[in-house]
Amino acid sequence: MNKNKNLKVTPLIGLQWGDEGKGKGVARIASSLSKNDLVTRFQGGNNAGHTIFHKGKSYVFQLIPSGVFGKVKIHLGAGMVINPYAFLKETERIPEEISFLSRLSVSPHAVLVMPTHLFLDSISEKSKGKKKIGSTGKGISPSYTDLVMRRALRIGDISQRDFKNRYKILRDEHKKILKNIFQYKVSDKELRESERNFWQGIKFIRSLIIKNSAELVAETLAKNGKVIAEGAQGTLHDIRFGNYPFVTSSHTFAGGVATGLGIPPALIGGSIGILKAYSTRVGEGPFPTELGGEKSAVWCRDKKVIDEKEKFPHPQIGSMLNSKDEFIQGVALRKAGSEIGAVTGRLRRTGWLDIPLVKFAMKINNTTELVLTKLDVFNNFKKIKVCTHYIIDGKATTKIPFDLSREKIKCIYKSFPIWKGKLSDYHGKPTRLNSRSGELPKEAINYIKYLEKTLGAKIIYVCTGPEEHECIERYW
């Protein structure tokens, strides 16, 4: 497939529970790529929420790869599940001056998300009660379920003459499941608008380039082009190796690139890992370093943004960030980092960086380089922490237990002093991470160097603001 044996597909993977800044990382890297290069998604659907600030405006991409504002080819890969109407509406939010449809293609093997998949997702989640896993309700799990059950409809099916009939058969099967298992009857009225939107989306997809993912990758590499495989969610949400069962329905780590694009594993090179300077998590599941512990988890589960604004109407961010009450610290960190779910609008749980979990994620992703995001959020802290070890059954360890949610874990922390001033003053300045150069505050450099030494990989970008250009690029 690949004439140049040295060229590999580069996965760009989140090393935490998602929301690490993958969209910005991809956009930053893609800005230096050419029309011969490719950025492709390989798994997930519109449960992703990759936020990019372009020319002062915020865009949240759920399906479209984050290289859309560059010159690169962009592709929705075989391992994805695609809601046609959501896809259409996402394209309509892109400014008219951005020419991208000629660069956009979709795999025929990607699975279609039907309107009834959304009903199955939301009703199933509600039926779990307190045992819910925190689904986004986008129909992702039911869509992948149909694929495993060998009855899914895929992008390639939309050109078949019997497509509408096959759609109706599967739709009616879903309605039976809803009625017989969940005691929920879907009315024709409920479905009518959703189906109208679905067929509008199908019409749009028929106008696009339908291209086999493996062929596209092979063609790009054969012409010495670069290929970036953009991950969604995060490693710790992987269906098999994440914090099961609080996971997504696809393989989110670098190993998923081969199955998600239909390419040999030998074509996959070392990954670029994206990690936030602290940790966040949306929804249910274990979170060893969470500020406020169980109180925070319950608050973020039961409350909305408006509730938090009413409870903390005019926060003094500085004093709250340095409060002795860890729950208050967590609230302030959420506000300082604008940690609200890009897809769900839910409050993100916040906590310190977890070195054992990041090391685990790096190992299974073959991470060779790192992008560190949101370092600027620490501007008003007096000190920051990272978890270096767990204490489980009285013993210190960096090993991740088989079932994180069933262990009573105490974290061992290392503290760092914070810098004075704002890191935004350093936007766009290349750095050797040399404290004598004055390119960054020494406290920030010491923190970055500690992470590099501890994690065993170079940090190639340090993000110090939301805009694509608000990055400090590493050079040697």
**Residues forming the active site:** 19, 50
Q: How do 471-473 and 458-463 pair as beta strands?
A: antiparallel
Residue 55 identity = K
Question: For tokens 């790869």, what's the residue?
Answer: 65
Q: Which of 161, 368, 121, 355 is nearest to 248 (CA)?
A: 121
Q: Could you tell me the sign of the dihedral formed by the alpha carbons of 93, 211, 147, 171, in that order?
A: positive
Say whether the peptide bond before residue 313 is cis (omega within 30 degrees of 0). no
Token pair for residue 230? 């953009």
Determine phi and psi for 123, rounding to 5 degrees: -70, -40
Q: Which of 140, 347, 152 is nearest to 248 (CA)?
A: 140
Q: Which of 43, 199, 205 is nearest to 108 (CA)?
A: 205
Q: How many CA atoms lie within 13 A of 51 on its CB side?
A: 18
Please give the Cα distance from 247 to 432 (Å, whole number). Answer: 38
Please give the Cα distance from 191 to 168 (Å, whole number). Answer: 12
> How many other C-beta atoms lie within 10 A of the C-beta of residue 236?
29
Q: Which of 203, 353, 362, 218 is nearest to 278 (CA)?
A: 353
CB 92 within 8 A of CB 205: no
Tell me if residue 192 falls in helix, strand or coil.
Answer: helix
User: What angle do the packed helices 188-206 and 115-127 form, to 10 degrees?
Assistant: 130
CB 279 within 8 A of CB 17: yes
Please give the Cα distance from 467 to 461 (Å, whole number). Answer: 13
Task: Return left, alpha or beta for 347; rule: phi > 0 is left, psi -120 to 50 is alpha, else beta.
Answer: beta
